[in-house]
Structure 1
Amino acid sequence: MSEPSDEQAAMQHYLVCGSEDCQENGQFYCNDCHRPLCEQCRDEHKKGANTKNHEIVLYRHRKYQLPVEICQDHPTRNVDIFCKDCKTPICSKCMKEHRGHEFEDLEDIYADKYALWQGEFSKIQKYFLPTTQGLKSDIEEDAEHIKKIMESIRISMKAEAISLKDLVDEVTSENIEHTHTMEKSLLKMLKSQETTYDDYNIYLGKISDEFQEYLSVTNKKLLFSKILKIQPIPDTTKPVKPLFTAGQFNRNDIAKLLGKVNVPNAKPEKRQIQPMDSEEFTTHLKSTEKQFEQINEKSNIKPTLSLSSSVTKVREYCVPGVSSVLHVSVDKLERLWVSDSNGNLVQIDLQGNLLQKIQTSGEYEGYHTATQDGDFIYTDKKKQVIYRITPDKNITEFIKTGDWRPLGIHSSRINEDILVGMVNCYKKKAKVTRYSKTGKELQNIQTHNNGEELYSNPHYISENINGDICTSDSNKVVVVNKSGHHKFSYTGQGSSLRLFGICTDVLGHILVFDNVSKTVQLLDQQGRLLSVIRLPRQRGIKIPLSVCVDDKNNLYVGYAMKFPLPCTLTVYKYLE
């Protein structure tokens, strides 16, 4: 395949042939030699005297190589045979001691077991994890629903209590008004009685005058006068005094008047668990396309999306204000943030116009990232601070990292957590720290289970679609799962690496730039090299350093140009 022209700006990516000095597409695989082969090398392999009987298959149908294990009894031999009678692995020299026994190729057993366990792993990734995550989401939704229901009940209770209180106030007001009426009636009666005695006292005064008049006359006149009779004292009645009879009620009576909350006496309904399609999950998904089908159920990406046969340039930017393009971030509005090794951090629009420029202490790190909510975050390793920029260009101090210098940073597209690669120069330690989107420290990832250090220079960091944390650590790619358990470290295919930018895509690929081979190396989620993207040589380009994939599956490659040419950022399509 000839190298494409500058005008086409196409790149090649393929599985590299395992034959010496051959860089063609290794689409076939020799199960005996355990190496990929291009079509020409396959044909030569079939003609070779020692290799003509080798089993050659398509790469995706390859047999996985048996791990090397030295025989304990014969240290010069590898264990590669299985004794079915003794049920133990042995080497070829051990066969003398197992004469008459039935044997089986241990590599065939390993390949079958590998496929079986890979299938079980696929079940976990495709069915069990998504299903339990779905159930967890249902539980979270139920929790929110319960909170809303209980708040509604509390509001109803308060309203009912207010209603009852209003009725109590109304009845009390009526009873008090009745006491005023009763008091008025009794006082009126007593006033009438008082008037009766006032009238009687006037009568007594008159009759007293008559008696005095008779007593002052002569005896003869008194003897013959009519005897006066005094009217009796009028009778009156005492008022019946009102009595207050207290209401007969207690707490239970009030509780009966008010409503109460209870859980219906019903059997809880089991959550619906979608059954697993065993046929779908027992198939070992080896190709990139099949790996994508695992994810496709939860995404809107078309099922046919896969690696294209060539990578084509979409557009190119000249980036002002920087001396190189060491890291690229694409924000919510598709504007680009670009940084160089001199601490220059610039923002440009889709036309390449400079929007703003910030001076930082950043160098050869992926020290900035765009968040899902439209903010922008960058690190300052000398000040040991992480800053946040809001869409209105307001810069605030977001996180202080103490004794640790923050290097690479990434904002999760899954849950908006913030992943930061850090180093402690005094202790000569390195780690990856997870923060919540509000800046709360959640997790520190630093060592293997055996205490061995995971990182030395985590200067670029990204997160895969399954939650794996992928770190470019100078000479290796370190991948841990979301719990922080080490999955693998990729150190290249027999040659040393000098790694810079790292990113992931919608298919779960890990793309990392290696400055030794001047290629973008594309790995799967298990750390296997799937493809090598060879960048075209362009006039004036010194080295490409940074890679970034946006939501539209565009691959951004940042270059450092020879002075005085401007720095460029090229956008490619590599999926179709």
Structure 2
Amino acid sequence: MENQEIVLVYKHKILSIRGAYKTKQQQHRGTIHTIRSDALFYRPVLLPGITDDIKTCRTEFSRYQSEMLTKAQKQRDLIDYVLYDLLNNVFCDFNFKHRCLKQKMETKKHIVSLQRYVHMYEQSTFSALQFLSSIKTVISQIHLTLHTSQLSMTESLNKEDVMESLSAIQITERGNRRVGNQCLLKLTSGAELHQSLTLTGVGRCYHISCVTSDRVWVSDLNNLMLTDTTGVPLHRVKDLCSYLYGGLHTVNSESELIYIDRKYNTKKRSKDMKTTTTFIEITDSTWEPQCVYWSLSTGDLLVGMYNNDAKTGKVTRYNQSGQLTQTIQNDNTGRGLYSVPCYITENNNGDVVVSDCINFMTGAVVVTERGGRHRFSYTGPPSGSRLDPRGICTDALSHILVCDDRTHTVQMLDKDGQFLSHLLIRPSGIFSPYSLSYDVNTHRLWVGSGDNNTVVIYRYITRQDALTDTADKLHTSQLSMTESLNKEDVMESLSAIQITERGNRRVGNQCLLKLTSGAELHQSLTVTGVDRCYHISCVTSDRVWVSDWNNNLMLTDTTGVPLHRVEDSCRGYGGLHTVNSESELIYIDRYYYIKKLSKDMKTTTTFIERTDSTWEPQCVYWSPSTGDLLVGMYNDRTRTGKVTRYNQSGQLTQIIQHDNTGLGLYRKPIYITENNNGDVVVSDYRAGVVVTERGGRYRFSYTGPRSGSGLRPHGICTDPLSHILVCDGRTNTVQMLDKDGQFLSHLLIRPCGIFSPHSLNYDVNTHRLWVGSEENNKVCVYSYIDTQDALTDKDTHSSGVEAMFSSSDGDAMFNSTLAVEWR
């Protein structure tokens, strides 16, 4: 019966019950959705407020009832007195008396009505629904009654006197009850990826303007495209202002595009894309618009302007007719607020929020009240630190979000400019977040890349769980133990126990080695044949390969004398070469082939040929543990990178490119190495240190000592204690991390002779660190790891054994030989 369609035949008319039901359901789908998503959701939030109002109403209406009865009696006495005086002491004809009597009757009716309304209020307070229903209809009637009563009396009692007497009762127009976002919304534990898309028609994503939940305008330096969530271009604006990377466009409530054209006029394009009109024509050529934002609350257009002659900026406000209504330029001391307003938005409290770019490396977020008074300027998380602000927006909770091009982060502030968190740090696929747009309807954040044409959509705000039933929570959290166990379940449960090959019992390095109190300089040398030291590969304890930018790849000894030169090496500053266990040099040549030079320097063979011209190898590392070759690759067309693994025969065995969400891990790998636990460690251009497990699963990214503080990584290596060492070109330091990416210390800070450390190589045989300079041809050799003094005397030996087996530090030696490893 369920799958059969019910048909009724009546007077030769056939009615499909199912069809009629579907039709009605379609007609009321919007109403049903509103009830489920809004009405039922708001009920538990609104109900406490209504309950409190009812309690307040009982008290207030009791007071008003007493006052109204008192005033009503006074009005009645006055009316009786006036009528008596008019009828008995003043000459008047019948019509006048009749008119007075008629008005007396009307006035008494009004008084009775007032008393009836008071009674209704008293009765309705016992039912919230009855109260809301009655007050909605009655208030307007009272309002009309009070203000349209026609009382034509003598001077002793006129309309103004009556209204003044009743003015104690004030009825205000409140509209529909509204709930603040702080009651309905909350932050999630972190930004959750919703979707990523690659756009066609733009090279980068310098600005985003949401039209609907699935359509946005995106621009780069020359193109302004309308696209959907598939990345397909739907429309292109041809006269966008070129060579400006700021917030050049916005969308109003009518879904019309407002943008700055190439003549610096502000234009408006209709929703159907058929009509383009000039909204604001530039009248002063010294001021050029840089960014626009349409205000959701006022309907005004905010425009950030720049004066190239005076090297200063300002914000102007235009109403919906395009008339200038406000200029914000100086603070209360007369000093200019802005340098170059690149992006502009408005917060829920009316604040005007500007991303102001002072130069290409620093700037500020400048916030003023709606009236123009300066509130604060934000220059970075720690007070006084630098900020390179780009795209900016606000969300439903009045947070301010800004992209920092210096640290490649999206920073979250409260409405008063206090730093709250790094919402995004070098997000996968984007690498350098540059543009932002918050969709108030779906509470999703659109983030555009400054490096490529990728846009990623995140969600970090969700609704309060006001309607979640406790029973449902308990139900979903319960473990279903009634299902029978089968072979697959047992095997899956036991899969956490991984059997590893034991081999010979080995003692962990942490038992034999220790950090010294600091890095000690062992030797420095000046390398002949190179002008800088962009990469170092150790061959023996006294021979290393050193390369610079200009195709120079030299073998040298500890005196700096060149012993051999490779003629066909690739030009670049990355990790272009490595040495295997046979002391053979593996390097990238000028044609991006990977070659192998024999130990005796007599034979050169091609180890890996280049088969795909879109991918160029940038760095190589030979793995001592597996004998594999790790290669960092870069695609200039897509501006993305990947890591490939080749076995000892030169066969491709693995590609590491994406995280578990499908987003790209690498921007441009320039140095690569491997840690003792098998982790693949990559120094990625302008991004950070990216670490994956041997199998390719993403582990972490390191972007500086403090979360989101910024890093310009260069040379990288690991040591026998599994520390990760990386050169930071921003601070001219060598930073030491543990294997899990936690910052430990600055091992070297602008070391003498080197000044800007750029390349690293750790010699596992001598436990010495080779450090090359970015500024000159100096190489310094340091030692910071020493052997434990385990065999110096009997006491030391015994204490060393005790330390080796102590429970505090680990069971390091014991764990290194366990046959069963738990993960």
The structure that is strand-richer by fraction is 2
Larger radius of gyration: 1
Higher relative contact order (CA 8 A, sep 6+): 1
The structure that is helix-richer by fraction is 1
